[in-house]
Amino acid sequence: AQTVTQSQPEMSVQEAETVTLSCTYDTSESDYYLFWYKQPPSRQMILVIRQEAYKQQNATENRFSVNFQKAAKSFSLKISDSQLGDAAMYFCAYRSKNNDMRFGAGTRLTVKP
Amino acid sequence: KAGVTQTPRYLIKTRGQQVTLSCSPISGHRSVSWYQQTPGQGLQFLFEYFSETQRNKGNFPGRFSGRQFSNSRSEMNVSTLELGDSALYLCASSPMGTSGRDEQFFGPGTRLTVL
């Protein structure tokens, strides 16, 4: 079964600085999708960024980018120019082609003013 | 478009009772997935429904069940509640769900407390 590991339960970053959240996963599949979701204190999960495993190019969404290393099964999220509104729980997720979805345990990000 | 809605938002039940939670997906979305979120276990996949059929199922006991109606609205039911069922139950919808690429849109969740 696929597993997703986020080794950093908590991270802290200074406003305007850059922070990287780590995620590794285990799978025997070659085609799958990876996601980073954000869950602010209000609890509604929001998609931050998505990566398709067959694409070698790392996904980017404004201040958010990923470092996807398929051979290493690593999928880290980089947040540049951190803002107070970035404070949230961040979940890394793996989704197989048949829609089996697995989440990591989450990383709580604190942004210091 | 209106987002995913879940009712009720909060629920308190006692052990042994049963509960039904409701999820209305975004209009046009046909796939609905349910997740259980607890501090100890994190986010765990319960099941996914597509066109009124359960397409995927997580590793939960048979006390957890669900269904989907022709309008894509979904309900999940938990029978014989246990204290460990206390959790935030999240519903997520996606357009077709036939490709893992589809973005899932999450609802605000139902907070279930079992006493």
A108 shares contact with chain B (CB less than 8 Å): no
Of A90, A101, A23, A27, nearest to B100 by C-alpha is A101
CA atoms of B37 and B42, how far apart (whole Å): 5
Q: Are strands B10-13 and B110-114 parallel, antiparallel or unpaired?
A: parallel
Phi, psi at A85, each rounded to 5°: -70, -5
- Which pLDDT tens digit goes with each residue over B9-42? 999 999 999 999 999 999 999 999 999 999 888 8
The pLDDT of residue A89: 95
Interface test with B, best of A43, A49, A50, A55 (most B CBs within 10 A): A43
Considering only residues B74 and A54, tell me which one the structure prediction assigns the higher pLDDT: B74
**For residue A101, is pLDDT > 90?**
no
pLDDT at A1: 65
- Give the separation between CA B106 and CA B25, rounded to whole angstroms: 9
pLDDT in tens, A41-92: 877 899 999 999 988 899 999 999 999 999 999 999 999 999 999 999 999 9
Please give the torsion angle defined by the CA atoms of residues A10, A106, A20 and A76, in that order, rounded to the nearest 10 degrees. 150
Q: How many CB atoms lie within 10 A of CB A75?
A: 28
Using a CB-CB cut-off of 8 Å, the residues of chain B touching A103 are 35, 42-45
Given a cut of 90, is residue A98 above it in pLDDT?
no
Question: Among residues B6, B40, B32, B31, which one has the least CA distance to residue B112?
Answer: B6
Contact A100, A47 (CB under 8 A): no
Beta bridge partners of B50: B31, B53
